[in-house]
Structure 1
């Protein structure tokens, strides 16, 4: 893994992000800015959540390098200045194809009722992500590449040990708070059920 996820989780330093804590809709994410979910099960090291379908603005990235992720961040940041919504989670999604090539996207969540302005940049698109079961490892770290990789690997290992089938060809790194928030920081690694 490249220095990729470190950048993705550190990117949103301009925005302030919220975390819907353990399925409590009142805990955070005002104005329905976080994807809605129901907490199905809380295991010792991860949660099982059932997400509803959600709406995102997304851009493809050529890879997970720092330059690519920063370019995607600034592109989406410039676009969202065109409408009035504050505080949204950002996710970096990584999928590995059959040839081992990574497909990478960077996305901001938007509320269902947001009216989007016209897309002047054809590399930005609206995406409706279907609902489904997601396994989530919540962690707080110094955002180092090592910590992110360790948390992804630990989630995958814990799911295997629990006998849970999951898609090991993809994962998401979710960030809810900016880089300058050092205390009470929570980030997430998501793994998807088949």
Structure 2
């Protein structure tokens, strides 16, 4: 089963395509962003099969999900975010989002799953009106593994397990209460998907 259904992914491709990063003279957007606004980061260290990144503060619009690695409500969560971006907000305006789409998947009990759209810092961000909320993350360090297979549940599980084993074998400390799953433009081949753990 696709982690993100084809219809949902098509919406994402169309919606995020309008926010470009051509105005930056200092920061060079990674090629895989295809000129669309993405969270800014620096690679701190590269390892075999993953890297440590330092991310700048970021803004997101987020909705909670009923989720496990085997059972989830991707479509309904996506549509709540899409409606917000499409004008179902307190100002009734369109909100141009960037890439990627991000999902936090809980790995332990008492944790909430969530799905988020990236909001570029220069975008006017209206208050939500229903079932979504705005979220800001401070600077953070993430261990990230990239893979180019499609956004299938099995591929996220596989690469998440590989990343966790690598971190443990190299005695890296990380938050194992959740894993982050990231999808960039799904129409680009090879695909660009990522899994991450927050460094501690």
- Pick the TM interval, shorter chain: 0.7 to 0.9
Unaligned runs of 5+ in 1: none
* Distance verdict in 2 for CA 1:115–1:141, change over 3 Å: same
Contact kept? 2:150, 2:191, Cα under 8 Å: no
Root-mean-square deviation (CA, aligned residues, Å) is: 2.5
The residue number in structure 2 matching 1:15 is 12
Of structures 1 and 2, the one with the larger relative CO (CA 8 A, separation 6+) is 1
The alignment status of 1:116 with 2:121, answered yes or no, reads no
Shift of 1:112: 0.9
User: Matches of 1:9 and 1:42 in 2, distance apart?
Assistant: 32
Write out per-residue CA displacement over residues 78-132 of structure 1, whole angstroms, 9 at most, x where no aligned residue: 11123252542110102344xx2441000000011211234221x2111001211
Tell me the number of residue pairs that the alignment of Structure 1 and Structure 2 aligns: 180
- 1:95, 1:171 within 8 Å by CA — same for their partners in 2? yes
Q: Does the alignment pair 1:171 with 2:179?
A: yes
Check the 8 A contact 1:35/1:54 in 2, yes or no: yes
2:68 aligned with 1:59, yes or no? no
Structure 2: give runs of 5+ residues left out of the alignment. Answer: 22-26, 88-93
- From the superposition, tell whether residues 152 and 24 of structure 1 become closer, same or farther in structure 2 (CA, over 3 Å): farther
User: TM-score, normalised to structure 1's length?
Assistant: 0.82
Q: Which position in structure 2 is the counterpart of 1:76? A: 81
Give me the whole-angstrom Cα distance separating, in 2, the residues matched to 1:185 and 1:115.
30
Please give the per-residue CA displacement for 1:42-90, whole angstroms capped at 9, x wherever unaligned: 1110011001110000011122434x22101011011112325254211
TM-score by length of 2: 0.79
- CA gap of 1:55–1:73, structure 2 versus 1, over 3 A, is same
CA–CA distance in structure 2, aligned partners of residues 101 and 81 of structure 1: 32
